[in-house]
Chains A and B, each alone.
Chain A
């Protein structure tokens, strides 16, 4: 029973580059969530997706950030033109349905130089 998988586990980018974070949900889960954990802060919701649909993106920054969950393949969180303030741990979670328990992946630690 594989859990939520995220890759890469660590990602280093220079300012202005693009970062792509991938998340494969648990088998049988069709709901995916992205959270961000800044140093010394709690986990903050970013976006909630189902296959091919963004359901709630109320926590996403208005610029440079986008997310998708295509019919085939993993969910992708994309950050364009990264800045130092984007350095954080990004966690993906999945659930089998709405209001169900969310299970988290190991996270991707993004460092922007």
Chain B
């Protein structure tokens, strides 16, 4: 069964303290690995799509990378407004359904 596991479950950082979130996947035939940000009471907001091992994408303070077994979301010098739950999801095989991890709840403090 396709599985997506995120760690840590929760992470507390000081403003400016860089860190990484992990997403490991056990799937066959990965077609895409997606990162979303979700604020309380809102829908997931798209961040990145990665398609092949070695690929990297950046947006402001965030950088996503992909290997054959896991993906990382690096957060450089985070600010309080980066506080949110970060979700990763896999898309496999011939289907169109995303399999989500349970997320990492990030809190950035002043």
Contact = CB atoms under 8 A, between A and B. Distances in A.
Interface residues of B, number: 22
A14 B70 CA distance: 43
Interface in B31-46: 31-32, 34, 36, 42-46
A105 B32 CA distance: 21
A59 B97 contact: yes
A88 B50 CA distance: 29
Chain A interface category by residue count: 20 to 34
A31 B102 contact: no
B66 interface: no
Nearest to B99: A45
Given A41-B102, A42-B102, A43-B87, A103 B46 contact: yes
A107 B49 contact: no
A58 B98 CA distance: 12
Contacts of B87: 42-43
B54 interface: no
A1 to B, nearest CB: 14
Contacts of B36: 104
A55 interface: yes
Contacts of B100: 35, 42-44
B102 A45 contact: no
B44 A99 contact: no
B102 A99 contact: no
Given A35-B100, A104-B46, 11 more contacts: A31-B96, A42-B100, A43-B44, A43-B87, A45-B98, A45-B99, A56-B95, A91-B43, A102-B46, A104-B45, A105-B43
8 contacts: A4-B43, A35-B98, A35-B100, A43-B98, A48-B96, A56-B97, A103-B46, A106-B42
